[in-house]
Chain A
Amino acid sequence: MRDFNFYLEQIGEIGFIEEVVHSLVYSSGLPSAHPNEVVVFETGDVGQVFSLTKEHVEILLFSNNQLRVGSKVARCGQTLEVPVGTGLLGRSIDPLGNPLDSRALKDIRFSPIEVAPPRITSRRQVTKPLPTGVTLVDLVVPLAMGQRQLVIGDRKTGKTEFLLQTIMTQTKLGTVCIYAVIGQKQTDIKKLSEFLEAEKVIENTVVVASDSSSSSGQIYLTPYTAMTIAEFFRDIGKDVLLILDDMTTHAKTYREISLLAKRFPGRSSYPGDIFYIHARLFERAGNFKKGSITLLPVAESLLGDLSGYIQTNLMAMTDGHIFFDIDLYNQGKRPAVNPFLSVTRVGHQTQTPLERDVSRELLSFLVTYERMKQFLHFGAEVGDFARNILGLGSRIDSFFNQKPEVTIPINANILILSGLWAGIWNETKINELTREIEKIVLAYQTEDLFRKQVDEIISRTTSFSDLVTNLRRNKEIITNKLS
């Protein structure tokens, strides 16, 4: 971007600041300004035309600097563009594309931030699964490449840990991961960068960050910048995982801007176009001819209330949601995903017949297990059937408990679950069970022969009951790895 004098000479139009209201600037002049056009002030600050009135041009400022009334402003003659390219991999940038580590960007070009979502003819059916490495999600609420899945829950319920596990799994499979941090604390952004570097996944990741002290304009821009970068990688044939953390902060920031701009407040004081602001962004994700953009927007709920305005808006424009339950978190479950309140609308169609069968059986069992646990509260005596259900249920609970730094491949999950179902660990204590499961996972990840054997068994089997029967007959497949 050139300086103020360059654009003043080139365009030949000038404006003068008449009023400054927090992040909105009202300017006179600029007769040919159009909406979303970039403007530059004589101080070097950058803004975007938010709206036009008869007397003024309303400009959204992208910096926190205090501007003086009477300062000059010039049009740039173009809409906002951000840098995109392979040179962004491994880097952290702000929503305007400036690197946060002050090193220059290479191998980039500029792309406009506001584009229309692709039409129906350029879209493809969702067919490939997206493994997250998180057992509970991969088995019960599976995701797919090109899906938009909302991650919703109260604060501090493990949403970010889940997203990082997904990044760790996907980067190993060659997916480009883009993490948009929207108005979070600077310490959280720093921790995120350090985590990505420590896990050696930073080379395939781009971080677009705006912290809570950034201007409202920059916070508002963050997810759009991230989506523009995702579209570049999609267009060169890559699969992209885009995480927007979090959209409730984005909605609050847009509410702040709209109220300052004296827009009429709607429900909960949000502006009337709050749905459009998010929907036009989410529609840019999906499965396409060249590549896919899998979108995981994050939403924060209050005390587990899924019926909030923004939360229901986001649920309406996504292909499902994963609900992180504060009650489950308080019970010590990690991840605290509630499988009964989580939904995946397109994930199951990408599963193999075996995976679909596993999913169905598991969910059905979990419902029965929950009912049994309720039954226990009455202090009634339990028969053998109930005892078996409760025993298996507690083992499955223990199996689902997963440390945040651990990711487990789907086939390993299916094998272990089938082993549990087959009764291999019926006599094993819960703490022992955890250790033995870790051994199986380690063996799968490190021993080629074992991995091939397991993959072959699973690819040959089409139903869960067949797999369980097979393991009952051939327990040594698992027990050999436990000694």
Chain B
Amino acid sequence: MYSTFLSKIRTKEDIQKLINEIEVILQSLYQKQGVESVLKAQVRAWVSQALEEDWKSAPNKEEYLIRLKEVLNGLKPLSLTISFEPTELSLEKLSYFVKQNLGGNIYLDINYDPRLLAGAIIVYQGRYLDMSLKKAYEAEFERSKVEIIKLLEKTHERL
């Protein structure tokens, strides 16, 4: 029933924005202005369209909206720490990949840390995976620490 909404959700900000819109609609259910005016003026077009479509088969609007909020709050986060600020296209690709491989009940929690250089740190359901270039460099430096220090000392002496 909520597939349209779930397919549009990519990030934490998307969820928050949608939940805010649902709150506004819920408040308007028992107000003088009515739901229709709110749907036209205060909510995004695709949201109004999806709601109107679904409400044809769901007679109780309030119950529908409350349930939609619960579904949105129940989505699982996949935390992604990357070294660049992604474009809309990148976000779309990432979200699509994650949903294809892990299921549709997931949203991305994107964090930006340029110190990673490249790659990403992924945290999902308590599992942690550091696939960043920073970690690879650190591991390499640790392995070759002695040789690197000798090289630096030689260079220092030459100078």
Contacts and interface: CB of A to CB of B under 8 A. Distances in A.
Nearest to A32: B126
Contacts of B128: 8, 12-14, 74
B80 interface: no
A151 to B, nearest CB: 47
B125 interface: yes
Contacts of A29: 123, 125-126
Nearest to B139: A9
B140 to A, nearest CB: 15
A31 B125 contact: yes
8 contacts: A12-B127, A13-B126, A13-B127, A14-B127, A28-B126, A31-B125, A31-B127, A32-B126
B102 interface: no
Chain B's interface size range is under 10
Contacts of B127: 12-14, 31
Nearest to A28: B126
Nearest to B138: A5
B1 interface: no
B32 to A, nearest CB: 41
Contacts of A8: 128, 130
B129 interface: yes
A32 B128 CA distance: 12
Contacts of B130: 8-9
Interface in B97-139: 123, 125-130
A15 interface: yes
Nearest to A12: B128
Interface residues of A, number: 12
A30 interface: yes
A12 B127 CA distance: 6
Nearest to B123: A14
Contacts of A9: 130
Contacts of A13: 126-128
A35 to B, nearest CB: 16
A29 to B, nearest CB: 3
Nearest to A33: B126
- Chain A CB within 10 Å — which of B127, B128, B130 has the most? B128
Nearest to B130: A9
Contacts of A31: 125-127
A28 B126 CA distance: 7
A126 B82 CA distance: 66
Contacts of A74: 128
Given A29-B126, A31-B125, 19 more contacts: A8-B128, A8-B130, A9-B130, A12-B127, A12-B128, A12-B129, A13-B127, A13-B128, A14-B123, A14-B127, A14-B128, A15-B126, A28-B126, A29-B123, A29-B125, A30-B126, A31-B126, A31-B127, A32-B126
Interface string A3-18: 0000011001111000
A31 B125 CA distance: 7
Contacts of B126: 13-15, 28-32
A360 B2 CA distance: 86
Nearest to B125: A31
A13 B125 CA distance: 9
Interface in B10-53: none
Nearest to B126: A29
Interface string A344-355: 000000000000
